[in-house]
Amino acid sequence: MAEVDLVRLNFNPQSLGLLNAILGFVMFGVALDLKLADFRGVLTLPRATLIGLLGQFVLLPAFTYLLVLAIRPAPSIALGMILVAACPGGNVSNFLTHHARGNTPLSVTMTAISTLAAILMTPLNLSFWGGLHPQGAQILRQVALNPVEMIIAVLLLLGVPMAAGLAVSHRMPRLAARLRRPMRWFGLVALGLFVIGALAANWRYFLDYVGYVVFAVFLHNALALLTGYWAARAAGLPERDRRAVSVEVGIQNSGLGLILIFNFFDGLGGMAIVTAWWGVWHLISGLTAATWWSRRAPAPA
């Protein structure tokens, strides 16, 4: 077993409770920007939404499994990559899609649907693909991962705050309008400060082991962006839809991944470090890709 597989990051139960609460506020703020019509968008954009979800929850986890077999990282890093691939789209994907001159309504619809689908799909994909990986399966057995317990945890972390935010947005639109901007900034700042604090508490581990994951995350994120784009292209979607699907599949909710790692894997070092670095890198790669696209008008449908 690699040395990184033995590392457990410094993280106490009080910090975990605070991180859970912060993610809840973030998801509540995200839901304030959504409307029930965004979920009905799957009816107006059915093929594009289906292709996006296929890329998100079927193709990316499967390709990730093949990638970890090919590059053979440490077992905990491999399991962290599989967990990231099992997470739904990240919160900044809508902004990046708009910046990329992609189909923003499609991005919003995919974010809403994939976040709800993640309640089931994230635990199931982690259990399935992680269970197929020989060393990853050993880690899952050691922690006695129960998919039902993880489904309940993801439901509480994602489903409940989103339902509350949607209820406020639907029933009290004026209040939702006043809360959107402060909630967005509160969530970003609180999560950013928390990550900085957690990083400072584990700085030695990060410096010692981040080199293990840089190349793996670079390959993995490139694979995610390309999986979304080429799946959309193979389905004959127009360029604006391809950009939206690519960003949605390439930007993952790594915050959810970190919370699951601390809740169920006791801060397992390789998993936590690969997920934390993904959270940094996907913003760099996503903004770079979106800026490149922003300078190129999409071909008309």
pLDDT digits (tens, 9 = 90+) for 253-279: 887 888 888 888 877 778 888 888 888
Structure tokens that stand for 9 in this block: 């990051």
**Model's pTM, two decimal places?**
0.83
State which of 32-36, 73-77, 254-258 shows the largest mean pLDDT: 73-77
- How much of the chain, in percent, has pLDDT values that exceed 90? 27
Residues in the chain: 301
Answer yes or no: are the C-beta atoms of 32 and 168 closer than 8 Å: yes
The pLDDT of residue 1:
46
Higher pLDDT: 298 or 53? It is 53
Q: Which of 254 and 241 is assigned the larger pLDDT?
A: 241
Q: What does pLDDT average to over the chain?
A: 82
Q: Return phi, psi of residue 252, to 5°.
A: -105, 155
Cβ atoms 92, 251 nearer than 8 A: yes
The pLDDT score that the predictor gives to residue 38 is 61
CA-CA-CA-CA dihedral for 42, 48, 49, 54, to nearest 10 = 150
- In CATH terms, 9-294 corresponds, of 1.10.10.10, 1.20.1530.20, 3.80.10.10, 3.40.190.10, to 1.20.1530.20
The pLDDT score that the predictor gives to residue 266 is: 77
What pLDDT score was predicted for residue 94? 79
Tokens representing residue 50 in the block: 């289906």
Q: For residue 30, how many other CB atoms are within 10 A of its CB? A: 24
- Banded pLDDT at 242 (limits 50, 70, 90): very high
The SS3 call for residue 298 is coil
275/269 Cα distance (integer angstroms): 10
* Of 262, 242, 243, the residue nearest 254 (C-alpha): 262
The pLDDT of residue 140:
84
- Tell me, what DSSP letter sits at residue 8? B
Stretch 191-210: mean pLDDT:
69
Is 80 exceeded by the pLDDT of residue 40?
A: no
